[in-house]
Amino acid sequence: MRIEPALLVILSGIVAALHIGKMPVAIPVLRDALGVTLVEAGFLLATVQLAGMCVAVFVGTATDSLGLRRSVITGQAILGLASVGSLWVEQPGSLLLLRGLEGVGFLLSVLPAPGLIRQLVPMSQLARYLGLWGTYMATGASIALLCAPAVMTFVGWKGLWILLAAFSLGVALWVRLAVPSDAQRAGAASATVAVPAGGERWWQRLRLTLTSREPWRVAVAFSMYSSQWLAVIGFLPAIYEQAGFSGSTAGALTALACFVNVAGSIAAGRLLHRGFCARHLLYVGYLSMALATFLAYAQWTSDAPVLRYLAVVMFSAIGGLIPGALFSLAVHAAPSERTVSTTVGWMQQCSSTGQFFGPPAVAWLAAEAGGWHWTWVATGATSVIGLLLARGLNFNRQAAAR
Q: Give which of 315, 297, 318 is closest to 376, Cα–Cα.
A: 297
Backbone phi and psi for residue 359, each to the nearest 5 degrees, phi listed first: -60, -45
Task: Tell me if 228 is assigned to some domain.
Answer: yes
How many CB atoms within 10 Å of residue 91?
A: 10
Q: Give which of 325, 58, 378, 125 is closest to 217, Cα–Cα.
A: 325
Task: Tell me if 186 is assigned to some domain.
Answer: no
Backbone phi and psi for residue 66, each to the nearest 5 degrees, phi listed first: -75, -35
Cα 163 to Cα 295: distance, rounded to the nearest angstrom: 37
The pLDDT assigned to 304 comes to 84
CA distance readout (Å), 341 to 51, 65, 183, 295: 17, 11, 18, 38
The pLDDT assigned to 398 comes to 39
The amino acid at 135? T
Task: Tell me if 19 is assigned to some domain.
Answer: yes
Cα 296 to Cα 305: distance, rounded to the nearest angstrom: 8
CATH of the domain at 152: 1.20.1250.20
Provide the domain count of the chain: 1
Task: Tell me if 188 is assigned to some domain.
Answer: no
Task: Tell me if 17 is assigned to some domain.
Answer: yes
How many Cα atoms occupy the beta-carbon half-sphere of 400 within 13 Å? Answer: 27
The pLDDT assigned to 65 comes to 66
Task: Tell me if 124 is assigned to some domain.
Answer: yes
Cα 287 to Cα 390: distance, rounded to the nearest angstrom: 11
The pLDDT assigned to 399 comes to 43
The pTM score is 0.78
CA distance readout (Å), 194 to 188, 189, 202: 11, 8, 17
The pLDDT assigned to 200 comes to 65
Q: Residue 108 belongs to what domain range?
A: 5-179+202-401
Task: Tell me if 87 is assigned to some domain.
Answer: yes
The pLDDT assigned to 402 comes to 39
Query: Which DSSP helix (H) or strand (E) runs through 330?
Result: helix 321-333
Task: Tell me if 43 is assigned to some domain.
Answer: yes
Buried residues in 55-88 as b, exposed as e (16+ CB within 10 A): bbbbbbbbbbebbbbbbbbbbbbbbbbbbbbbee
Cα 289 to Cα 276: distance, rounded to the nearest angstrom: 20
> Which positions of the chain have pLDDT values less than 70?
1, 46, 49, 62-65, 182-200, 242-243, 247, 337, 394-402
Cα 232 to Cα 234: distance, rounded to the nearest angstrom: 6
Q: What DSSP designation does 88 have?
A: G
Q: How many helices (H) and strands (E) does the chain have?
A: 19, 0
